[in-house]
Amino acid sequence: MKKLINSVETVLTESLQGFAAAHADIVALDGECRFIRRARPAPGKVALISGGGSGHEPLHAGFVGRGMLDAACPGQIFTSPTPDQMAAAEAAVDGGAGLLLIVKNYEGDVMNFEMAAEMIGGPVMTVLTDDDVAVEASSYSTGRRGVAGTLLVEKIVGAAAEEGRDLAALKALGDRVNRRTRSMGVALTSCTVPAAGRPTFAIGADEIEMGVGIHGEPGRRRVALAPADAIVAELVDAILRDLGDVAGQDVLLFVNGFGGTPAAELYLVYHAAARLLAQHGIRIARSLVGSYVTSLDMAGCSITVSRLDDELVRLWDAPVHTAALRWGA
């Protein structure tokens, strides 16, 4: 294993300290390294909090800031943060209008966020993201996994929270975005968790994992490496079959890298996916390409398609200022 680390025990703390120092105008790190919060709190609005295991950067800490999250709780690599961490974050950013938790559908995350909500009390609601079409509810203990579509929920709901919408309205909006969003990924290589010191799974030099999870979980099937067009066609077909009839509608197309894939390849994937959507009569109204929901050093990518309407386009376009996403005034 070759990693730019000092020790397995300190990698997360040192990374968080570096992140907070590099973006001190946007975020602040809790003194006990339990959470990242906005450097300038936003009282009076519903506070948005997310989190999960580290190793997916910039998700979630990279999306803390104006127009998105108020706080993010990073657990150890691929391990849910503890309820104590989450409760501390909730107490730190509660501006009096309630708390909305945005939680990826993984058993540890769901359980610990529920426990944290009970600990702090007060008005708290949860949006559960489960956009991964690679697995059905019957084949995964808690149902579908929450993956790259989580970013879309955090951005759109974050914009609405900035406008002052109440807790119930934000919960309804987050659920709506999640229902309109589907994702699927492919891995060319495994990731390597520092504490393990070896690849999470073995894969041949000429093999790929279709439908891989963001922690290296198995996908739909192991197949031989094929040209990018064929790989993208399988991902897009699975997404569209699950999303339903979207011909003639506007969508957001998000091509996400898993951490070990060059931008040139991600844009090639976008090009292939855009052609396929056009063949189905689907209009791409908004796009995002880059490594935003990663899996450490895994080579591969995911494709996300989300059905848009005028309100969702406006909220997507609303100003955002975080370490990882910045646009608008």
CB distance 154 to 320 below 8 Å? no
DSSP 3-state assignment of 58?
Answer: coil
User: Is 56 one of the catalytic residues?
Assistant: yes
Q: Which of 23, 56, 271, 280 is catalytic?
A: 56
Other CB atoms within 10 A of residue 40 CB? 11
DSSP bridge partners of 206: none
Per-residue tokens: 321: 């200022």
Per-residue tokens: 7: 């020790």
- CA dist 224 and 207 (Å) reads 4
CB distance 27 to 65 below 8 Å? yes
DSSP bridge partners of 183: 132, 304
DSSP 3-state assignment of 123?
Answer: coil
- CA dist 57 and 38 (Å) reads 17
Q: Which of 215, 271, 280, 321 is catalytic?
A: 215
Q: How many helices (H) and strands (E) does the chain have?
A: 8, 15
Closest CA to 59 of 300, 317, 294, 315: 294
Per-residue tokens: 52: 């999960």
DSSP 3-state assignment of 213?
Answer: coil
**Beta 71-77 vs 36-38: how paired, if at all?**
antiparallel
> Which 8-state DSSP code applies to residue 282?
-
User: Is 215 one of the catalytic residues?
Assistant: yes
Tokens 């990518």 sit on residue: 301
DSSP 3-state assignment of 233?
Answer: helix
Other CB atoms within 10 A of residue 194 CB? 17
Closest CA to 303 of 181, 144, 155, 178: 181
Catalytic residues: 56, 215
